[in-house]
Each structure stands twice: as C-alpha cells, then as structure tokens.
Chains A and B, each alone.
Chain A
C-alpha cells in the first residue's frame, strides 16, 4: 500500500517537472469563461506600508503582461488578480485570505512581506486547502513560527515559502565584514520582537563561532526613546562593527544619540537590516546615512528575467522610476518574483484549477524568477526554498537623480550577482 502511494507520487512528480508557461493564449476563447484567479495580499497601508509601496506598480506590470491571458502546457487561460491591502494588521490578513478563498474562489494565493502579513494568510490557505506562495520574511519565522517542529516531517501541504533565512544573513555578514580590517568586535541591538529574537538565538552564536566577539546589551523594546546605556556599553567595549534589526524610527533616534556620544567615529561597519531596506530610510538620517551597510533580498543588478512579465531587473526599476519619480526599491523584484513562482507552480500542475494537483507539484518545483532560480527540491525543509541575501552599502551618489547609490559589495549567497563596488569604512 505504501509502495503504491509513493509510486503514484513519483509519477505525478515526474509529470509535473515538464510544465511550460508562456504569455498570451493559444486557445483563448474556450477557457476565457473560467480564468485563473490569483489572490494577492500585502501591506499597502499602515506601519508596514514601506513594503507595499511598490506593489501597485508591480501589479500593473503583471496585469499588463497577462492581459492577453497565458498558456499553461498548451492550454490557454485568462488571469485575474485580486489584490488586497492588510493595512498592516495580522487579523485583517487572515480575514482577507478567508474572504478571497471562500467568496472569490481563488486558485492560488500570493502573500508578500513580513510575518504579520504572511503567517495568517498561510494558515488560512493551509486550513482551506488552497496553494499559497509567499516571500520576504525569514523562512524560520514562517516555518517554525507556524508550529512546525525541527526534525519532524513538514506539517504543511498547501503553503510554500521562498527567500532568505538566518543562514543567508550569516554568510553575507561574514563575507561583508571580512572586506574591511576591524577588531572583530560586533555591537548588536536586537529588539524584543519575532525577528530580533530569532536573530539573537540563531545568528549571534554562529557569528561568535566565526570569530566575531558579540557585544549584546540585551533585547530592547521597540519604541524606546533613549539608548544611553547601550551606547555606553558599545563605547566601552570598543566595538568596530555594529549590527541591528530595528524599525526605522528607533534606529534613527538611536543612531543620532550614538553620534552625539561619538560612537559613530569608532565604528567601521554599520550593518543594518529591516531599517535601510528602502532609500527613504537613509535619506531621513541626513548626513549620518552615508555609507550605512545593508543587505538586500533583491537588487536591480540581479541578472535574471521575470518569466511572468518578460522584464529584467533594470527594466523593472527604470520603469518604476520613470512612472513615479521615486528611486527603485528591492521590494519591486521580490514581489514580482512571487508572481513568477506562482505561475510556475500553476504550470507545473497537471491542472492549474485543481488545488491538490498544484500542491503536489510544488515540492518538485524549480522556478525561474526575477530573483533567480527558486528551488523547492533542495530547500532546508520541504516547504521552503532559500533565496539570497546580498551585502550592500548606501554610498553617496556621484550624480543622477537620487542622493544615494545602493552598491553591491559582496555576493556570497548568489555569485551570479555582480559586485558593483567596494565596501567603504563608515567612519572614514
């Protein structure tokens, strides 16, 4: 009996890998009555709105590209995208997901950006048996945060996540911090939240093993307005590298106070995450923003093309800048890559309208995307494919329309990405 089931799975898997996807419909009329419905949930307003800011533009590109329908395995379909704004509220995320599932009858769900958005949507999809693709949050917080146990088989059948995890941060940081001669003393400010706790428990010990001395004053509460005690500790310890995962207003307050105390003059690498993803964060720092080091889950120089839209990274970002007058952000490519993966998942299934068929095709999926190959066959756990974290730095621009260039300084987690500049010491 067991043998039968596994053989059947094997056959399905073998078939699934052959899926093809093309823009435009070969057989338009017959299927246009029942289009593929894609649910898309992201935080467009509320405190997380920085993430969702570019989603409108990406949706426009995807809708334009798919206006004439798509062809999956030789069969034509119309595509309808139903986008919803969580208003940065986790409860609303789950509610929107259930609404899209029950009332709109979506075939596949996409959820993008932060645990507050993704986890409730994934839970709703898992419960209802609807395939769900998500990206842009540490996969550990997605997988273990939703009740999976280390070492045990994955409890999830319908929900799949791709993107960075702690390991990518580790490799990027070690690679980045070896670019400049320092005393290897790292001051860290990890907040008392899901990201901060995960990083403290999983990243800090590995950095210590790699020969960095971690100076950790302990978790702080988000919204703290005075950081004198931490700053004093970093000054006394003589840290030359600084790493933090704060929300933007907290870091701006902290870093100004640190500069008042002269801490900025002793630190050679300021490595921030969560803050500094987007150019507006750095601009708000004023002159203190020059040469802040960051890490990117996507960059316009990624040498990949989006199958869902035919856009390259450069074309996507140039288009965004021309349409809005604002500088490109890494979220553009991240959101688009989720559509690339979703379309690949639908085309890998024997029938894209059959949710179980799509779910069964997912573990064997190797999808091209604007962020590179998303490979669920080699992930750390069944439902996860890892993606890169690339070391970057906000360097003052030498010309052009925007104040800062987002320069790639290392590429340990995806060597196809071209390094475009040298890491500069912060205090130089």
Chain B
C-alpha cells in the first residue's frame, strides 16, 4: 500500500511535467494547444540529436533546447497563433491541430519510424532506484521528475506573481484590450508566454525520454494525459495542475488495483467526473471546462 501511494505521487510528477506547458498556454493565452504533445516529441528529437549525435552533456542539451523551443514559440505565436486568436475559440484549436499533424509527419520524414529514448545518454540512471525501508524500491528518475515538476511550477508561479513580465502576462491574459490601453505590448507579451510554454515542454520531453521512449506519432498520447490532468485540476494556478496530476495518477493506480486493465479507465473516469462537475448547470464552454478563473 505504501509503495502504491509513493508510486502514484511519482507518476503525478510525470503528468504534471507533461501538463504544465498546456495549462500555462491556456491560462495565459486562452489557447488549447493541441500541438502540445507533438511539440514535446519535437523537443525530444532535439535532445536526442544534441546528446546522441553531437555528444553534448545532457544538461547542456536541455539548456540549448529550451532556448530553441522558446524561439520556436515566439515564431509560432507570430506566424500562427496571433492570427488565429481573433477568430474565436475554435480557430486556434483547429490551427494547433493542423500544426500537430504537420509536425507528426515532418518528424516521421526526418527521423524515421524508430522508437527513440534518452536513457542511453544518462547511463544507468533511467532504471536506478533508491531503496526505502521495507524493501520498497523507488525509481530515481521518477523522484527527479517529481522534484523537477515542483521546481518548474514554482518558478513559473514566481515569475507570474513577482516579476513585471509576469504581471504583464497576467494582464494580457485577463483582458487584452485593457492591457493594450495601459501601454502593454500584448503581442510581444503573448509571444514570450508561448515561448515559455514551449520551453517547459523540453523538461517534459526529457522526462518522457528517460521514462520510456517515443516515436514520431507519440504526441497524441502525451496530449491526452496532459489534457486530463489540466481539466481535472483546472487552470487558475499551475499548482492546480499538480493537484490534477495527483488525482489522475491516484485514479489510475486505484483502477489498476481493481483490475490491471483499469489503469487508463480509472484516469478516464476521474476526467469524466471532472467534466461533469465543471459543466453542471450552465452553458458549455471551454473556459468552464478548464475551470478558468482569475488569479488572486
């Protein structure tokens, strides 16, 4: 039982890492980025090329990729999202869906069908474990991923609450017109926010690659878990994403306890319950689905 609870918490850390970029993008930009999974996979390929083909140390590869994904985010915003933004809720959704399909096939063309993993870059770390009293083994990499999730969320929250850029991002997210009236360059702010969201995807890619493996079409599975965690948690604060990830991981672990096939079903049930709770008695909208509320 103890190991089940510990495992569920560690799994939650992984989901939180996957979901952070998606939640950030939605809470700041009101865009549900359906290319989120594909972009994480893209970052994974980047890490693989830097680490495996160019033999750079893993932390250096992560730093370079974060910079690269930040730039890609800025470009993506300027080229696509800013234009789609004015067209209502549906247009950005369709635009990012299209981007994900293009990315999937581009990555297949470029990198082929192989399943790749980042584990060979870090020696035995991906299957090393800590032994706790009571012969409970805890995977080291899972612990590091959970810690990273908390650090990343903490840093972004700090950025949003304590820095001028953070305040500009919040103002832009709450009311773009008013923010612009107050002299904020909302386009630039939104572009930076997109860049930050994509940069967090590099952390997710590292977690994915160390935990398991990915192929060119792996993005949709990632998107599903991230989406579920975000809807269960809601997007008012990124800490709620962590809470959503914990609920998702516990629901899955409980499901697996009932029956091995119940793992995914447990998570889906928690997701459905969250959807019903959020949408009960009122009009159906994406904002309500994501539990969007203003930051305190």
Contacts and interface: CB of A to CB of B under 8 A. Distances in A.
Contacts of A278: 114
Given A225-B225, A261-B129, A256 B113 contact: no
A257 B263 CA distance: 16
Contacts of A283: 120
Given A217-B260, A220-B260, A261-B129, A284 B117 contact: yes
B212 interface: yes
B127 A284 contact: no
Interface stretch (B85-93, B160-168, B215-223): B215-223
A273 to B, nearest CB: 16
A50 B213 CA distance: 14
Interface size class of B (residues with CB under 8 A): 35 or more
Given A220-B260, A226-B11, A248-B213, A281 B139 contact: no
B4 interface: yes
A225 B14 contact: yes
If over half of A's interface residues share one DSSP class (helix, strand or loop), that class is named, otherwise mixed; here it is helix
Interface in B127-183: 127-129, 137-142
Contacts of B257: 229
Contacts of B112: 49, 53
Given A280-B114, A280-B115, A286-B120, A232 B217 contact: no
B7 interface: yes
Interface string B226-261: 000000000000000000000001001100110111
A221 B261 contact: yes
B72 interface: no
Given A261-B137, A284-B116, A228 B260 contact: no
Interface in A186-221: 192, 217-221
B260 A226 contact: no
A260 B260 CA distance: 20
B226 to A, nearest CB: 12
A286 B8 CA distance: 25
Interface in A21-58: 45-47, 49-50, 52-53
A379 interface: no
A228 B215 contact: no
B126 interface: yes
B292 interface: no
Contact of B105 (A45, A232, A288): A45
Contacts of A228: 3-4, 7, 253, 256
Contacts of A260: 127-129, 137-142
Nearest to A218: B260
B215 A47 contact: yes
Interface string A255-281: 111011110100000000000001011
Max chain A C-beta neighbours (<10 A), residue from B211, B221, B260: B260
A49 B213 contact: no
Interface string B195-220: 00000000000000001111111100
Contacts of A59: none
Given A225-B225, A259-B127, A249 B256 contact: no
Nearest to B218: A249
A281 B112 CA distance: 13
A370 B218 CA distance: 34
A286 B119 contact: yes
Contacts of A338: none
A224 B119 contact: no
A278 B265 CA distance: 31
A286 B142 CA distance: 17
A230 interface: yes
A267 B264 CA distance: 27
B53 interface: no
B4 A45 contact: no
A192 B217 CA distance: 21
Contacts of A230: 260
B261 A218 contact: yes
Interface in A121-143: none
Contacts of B123: 287
A218 B150 CA distance: 34
Nearest to A288: B127
Interface of A: 45-47, 49-50, 52-53, 192, 217-221, 223-226, 228-230, 232, 248-250, 252-253, 255-257, 259-262, 264, 278, 280-281, 283-288
Given A50-B113, A260-B141, A284-B114, 8 more contacts: A49-B108, A218-B259, A221-B265, A226-B252, A229-B4, A229-B253, A249-B212, A259-B129
Interface of B: 3-4, 7-8, 11, 14, 105, 108, 112-117, 119-120, 123-124, 126-129, 137-142, 211-218, 221, 225, 249, 252-253, 256-257, 259-261, 263-265
24 contacts: A218-B260, A220-B260, A220-B263, A225-B225, A225-B263, A228-B256, A230-B260, A248-B213, A250-B212, A256-B119, A256-B126, A256-B139, A259-B129, A260-B128, A260-B129, A260-B137, A260-B138, A260-B139, A262-B137, A280-B115, A284-B116, A284-B117, A287-B123, A287-B124
